Amino acid sequence: MSDISSLSRRNLLLGAGAAFSLVLLGQEGLATNSSPSKDKKNKQLKANDYFNEDILHRNEHPLGVSPDFIKSLQEECGTAPFHHYKYLSEQTTLLKKAISRKLNTSEDLVYLAPGAGPTLEKILNTVKWDRGSFAISDPDFYFLTRVAEYMKLKVFKVPTTDKYEVDLVGLAKTGANYIYFSNPHVPYGRAKTRQEIEVVLKSLEKNQILIVDEAYIDFSDRAKDLSCVDLVKKYQNLIVVRTFSKIYGLASLRIGYYVTQNKKFSEYFTIYTISGLSAKAALLALDDTKRFDETFAYIKMAKEKVVAAAKTSDLKYIASEANFVTLLTTAPQREKIVGELQKKNYSFAAAGKSAFLRITLASAKELQDAVQSLAVIK
């Protein structure tokens, strides 16, 4: 079956909950020789302890940074700027300039942050301080929903449409002061165009803030049509959040940024928040356009492989614009696929109560095992 156009009403209703995340945890790069020393065994155990956790459901980078990037960063670490005993780093200033050039926007609108997550947490704190309300698609970035509920905020959860898309109009109609959605959307991978977003922006009251999380936008063929960064100059109630954790492969360095003209959100992070090393790594990643293109091409190929395998097994799926694919499996189908992967020591994590499987497009070996696991459904 191709995509959601052939779904029954029953399966559409199943999708109201979050997807079931399939975590592909391979052991590539961890193998030792047949008679490792005691020290090597200890190192191997520590590595396995880490990699046996449900990591890849966070949709981290499947390829990592390039050898050229690593060499350049190692060389930079030995140069003068990283031996200065000063808080301020010229790297953060250079990074803001580089981001503004990339986005073709004013440097004054760009604010660095230690990843997208902390930015969104700060926004939730603002909601609390304002005694406001928060609207989010259901499902969406599960971490944000959990934090909002933990903070005892007034939260409006708006179900996705029967096409597994964010209901932007529904979010706006809640009347919430702060409205959030990821674009492309997590966990289904659907996306809204800039034009669709602007229609909703025009309908909002002055006290309503729209937060658009574009963490996965670089994986889409339509990134230029989807991004609403250029709308920031026009709308004071718009915040666009981005990260270097996904396509740039810098998740552990905690580096991201947000774009807004609203000065209320300009003091979230000081110039001390981002380390000079993280900023330099981000600069090198921006310059490594070859790796960016390689990663984009790999993700596109991996998506095509998963979709082809789904079609062969007559499995329905959601056409995704991110680095994952959600399969609309039934509970028995999910059980069979997961059972097959468990034989190969893969782990998985649930991201809701539905029977769906969300496959992160991981390394070549992991991808191959995932595709082969779908063959059990005939």
- pLDDT at position 43, please? 41
Q: How far is CA 250 from the centre of its chain?
A: 12
Does residue 151 belong to any structural domain of this protein? yes
User: How many of the other CB atoms lie within 10 Å of CB of 67?
Assistant: 9
Same structural domain, 282 and 302: no
Q: Of 260, 287, 314, at which residue does a domain stop?
A: 287
Q: Report the range of poorest mean pLDDT among 5-19, 143-157, 276-290, 357-371.
A: 5-19
Does residue 106 belong to any structural domain of this protein? yes
Q: Report the range of poorest mean pLDDT among 53-62, 141-150, 289-298, 311-320.
A: 53-62
**Can you give the CATH number for the domain in which 240 is found?**
3.40.640.10
**What is the number of structural domains in the chain?**
2
Q: Of 225, 254, 287, at which residue does a domain stop?
A: 287
Same structural domain, 96 and 242: yes
Does residue 115 belong to any structural domain of this protein? yes
Same structural domain, 218 and 320: no
Q: Domain containing 216: what range?
A: 87-287
- pLDDT at position 266, please? 83
When pLDDT is averaged across residues 341-369 and rounded to a whole number, the result is: 74
Mean pLDDT across the chain: 81
Q: What is the pLDDT of residues 131-162, one digit of tens each?
A: 899 999 999 988 898 899 899 999 999 999 99
Same structural domain, 246 and 121: yes
Same structural domain, 279 and 338: no
The answer on pLDDT for 23 being more than 60 is: no
Same structural domain, 195 and 134: yes
Is the separation of the CB atoms in 212 and 241 below 8 Å? yes
Q: Of 232, 265, 287, at which residue does a domain stop?
A: 287
C-alpha distances out from residue 188 to 174, 219, 230, Å: 22, 14, 25
Same structural domain, 24 and 100: no
The answer on pLDDT for 338 being more than 80 is: yes
Interior/surface letters 280-304, b for 16+ CB within 10 angstroms, e for the rest = bbbbbbbebeebbeebbebbeebbe
Does residue 78 belong to any structural domain of this protein? no
Same structural domain, 101 and 236: yes
The answer on pLDDT for 29 being more than 60 is: no
Burial of 214 from C-beta contacts in 10 A (0-12 / 13-18 / 19+): buried
Same structural domain, 282 and 295: no
- pLDDT at position 377, please? 83
Same structural domain, 260 and 295: no
Is the separation of the CB atoms in 330 and 15 below 8 Å? no
The answer on pLDDT for 46 being more than 60 is: no
Same structural domain, 193 and 209: yes
Same structural domain, 206 and 298: no
pTM (two decimals): 0.83
The answer on pLDDT for 41 being more than 80 is: no
